[in-house]
């Protein structure tokens, strides 16, 4: 039988085609790591405070990320920050969102709590 007419997939015999050295990986292609975008050493990464306004109707929020806390710890810290700033906020994933542009105040408050924070963005 000619190669132009051979079966690529058959339900009776299973999948046929090119033979690879590992299942699910074709030869010549580098394998991408699923953790390439993950932070390699979170202890060396700092806490970042940035301002965002996209998708919020022009209103700005301060986003704090890089905190080495679990969800319960984030909620406790968020409550302290909201009370001292007199504004609202929320926990979204592993980030804190504080309503309004309070970056400088947040920097001082986080340093009082013992976190080394930096301002990020413009």
Per-residue pLDDT tens digits for 16-53: 555 555 555 555 555 544 433 444 555 556 899 999 98
pLDDT in tens, 57-90: 889 999 999 988 899 999 999 999 999 999 999 9
Q: What are the CA-CA distances from residue 2 to residues 19, 22, 95, 100 (Å)?
A: 18, 27, 59, 69
- Domains of the chain, each with CATH number or no CATH: 47-119 (3.30.780.10)
pLDDT at 90: 94
Confidence of residue 56 (pLDDT cuts 50, 70, 90): confident
CA trace torsion 14, 20, 23, 24 (10° rounding): -90
């Amino acid at each position: 039988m000619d190669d132009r007419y051979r079966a690529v997939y058959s339900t009776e015999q299973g999948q046929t085609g090119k033979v690879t050295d590992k299942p699910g990986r074709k030869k010549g292609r580098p394998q991408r790591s699923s953790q390439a975008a993950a932070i390699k050493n979170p202890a060396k990464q700092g806490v970042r405070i940035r301002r965002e306004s996209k998708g919020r109707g022009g209103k700005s929020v301060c986003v704090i990320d890089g905190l080495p806390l679990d969800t319960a710890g984030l909620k406790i810290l968020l409550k302290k920050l909201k009370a001292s700033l007199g504004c609202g906020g929320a926990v979204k994933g592993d980030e804190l969102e504080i309503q309004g542009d309070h970056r400088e105040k947040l920097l001082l408050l986080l340093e009082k709590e013992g976190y080394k924070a930096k301002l990020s963005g413009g």
